[in-house]
Structure 1
Amino acid sequence: MNLNAQKVSQRPRTRSRMLLVSIAAAAALSGQLVATAPAAFADGPKPSAQDQQRKPDKGKKDDHKKKPAQFPHGLRQFTYDNTFTVPAGVTTVFVQAWGAGGGGGGGGGATLGSNARPGGSGGGGGAGGFTWCVLNVRPLADYGVDVGSAGTAGTAGAAAPSTTTNGGAGGAGGTGANTTVVATATNTTLLTATGGVGGGGGGGATVTPTVAAGAPGSGGAGGNGACSTSSVNLAGGAGTTAGASGTSLPGTPGTGGTAPDGIVGVPPGAVDGGDGGPGGRVADSAVARGGSAGEAGGAGYVVIWW
């Protein structure tokens, strides 16, 4: 018999007994039952490496089979149209989507002559709407992500060419396009974030039938969001209406609406509505100025994570 080996095998037993005594004493003091796994504190030798590699008995359950399949978490952002392919093992994704912002309206042109007046300034475009959506998806399936394109800028109104003609009106800003996520296999739209409405163009100054400064452009409404499943939907900020013009200077242009906040921020310039363009001013009785174009809105934005 190897006495040294026997002494070594007794050391774990002594520590185990001491640990059990300590746990029992703590349980008695606290009045709580302390349950311990038999394999953690049982006396005697531990299973050998060969025993651990043996297959479990047919009548016993294999705990390893209960563990769920693991997959990496990730995030993708979209600033233009693309396809999202669901990773293997993923059945639910979280989506934040914004529609595109509307463009700002253009400023109207001024008149000239003894009754010269300035053109009206353009209104601001509305920001795109927002949806925060939970989507049930199929692993490895394709989903089309269509990011809304920005609303175009309103055109500038021309100055009056003579003392008897009116200044040109500024053009309205374009409405921002909707952002959508579509299940490719069924062509089903799962969510939509609508674009903001473009700002109104400023009116041109007139000499007929009355002498008047150009009317201010109105602000555009913000977009909204909708989803086929659980979601949080927020309206985009509305653009502001331009200020009224004076006798020689145009009013303050309207400002574009701002994007709704999500968990993630949008890239600079995205989703917001465009500012309106200033109307044409009166330089002197012999010179009239045309209005200025508005600003384009911001494009939509999508973030998907799982």
Structure 2
Amino acid sequence: MAVITWPDEVDHVLVGDLTAGLAYITPAGGAVVTAVSPIGLRDRELGTVGFTTSLGFGRKLERIKREPKVALAYHTREHGLGDPANQRFVVVQGVATFDAEPDQAALDRIGEQATQYLGAPQRGRFWDRWLSAYYTDRVLVTVAITRIIAWPNLDATGEPEVYGEPLPDTADSQKPPAKGTGPRVDSAKAAARAAELPHCLLAYRQSDGYPAVVPVRVGDSSSAGVQLTVPAGVAQGGRRAGLLAHSYRPKLVGLQCRQHTGWIEVNGTDSTYAPHTRSGFIAPPNKTLLLLANGLMARRGLAQARKQGRLDDLA
């Protein structure tokens, strides 16, 4: 596979953004989009980007192992290290791999790389023990780039520049789910909570199997679902799709996140999104409380994964 190259203007986005939207494919042919911190991980010589996660939050790793085609959407300059005047919306699509049992040298490199983005890690007898599942069980996910799509602005309007493989043909509508396409959770609450947050992304499966990710604006709700405004060029018709609305503060302290999977019907730039599932969290804007919560969730997730044998499957 030829190594994909990209210009400095795009590289500044990949290096500078504090957070990115990770999209991966579900077994039913839909997509999930969640926020990750890429901490500037990229290699222009090898044509790769990356991000980290924890084995304690290993559900996404299981999905990625099953279907390694992923996308990373660099969608906001907020609190990052890059130039805020660079307003490109950049989507990187590629094939992901990871080592579920990284050595200590790799973990040390991740820690050093993350410090300039997230601040110095907490150290000491209590924190080393409490955050062991969160820090020690970090996993580096590397994405071999297939394609980079860069729009001139964060609304993903205008003509994008494409580096790597050409964009595929527009995907046809998908077969509706057996349980129907209508909302299965409260659309009014979903719309209200998503509209409160500044960053909102939609993800769906392209015709070549990679996730597409675009920014959307949240409107009103009805019995049919949540009204979304999507950029021109989004695949028309109906399909499974994932929705992420989130906010964050410097060093990723003080997070809010709302996630859905569901069904979207697109007509031009207007669409109706019927949410089928919901999840989310609000993290306190206090680093100590945030680390206590991260440690608890990672430890619980890791213990559950070990009990169910999922760690052996990942390895």
How high is the TM-score relative to the length of structure 1?
0.20
Q: Which has the higher contact order (CA 8 A, sep 6+)?
A: 1
Rg comparison, structure with higher value: 1
Normalized per residue, the structure richer in helix is 2
Normalized per residue, the structure richer in strand is 2
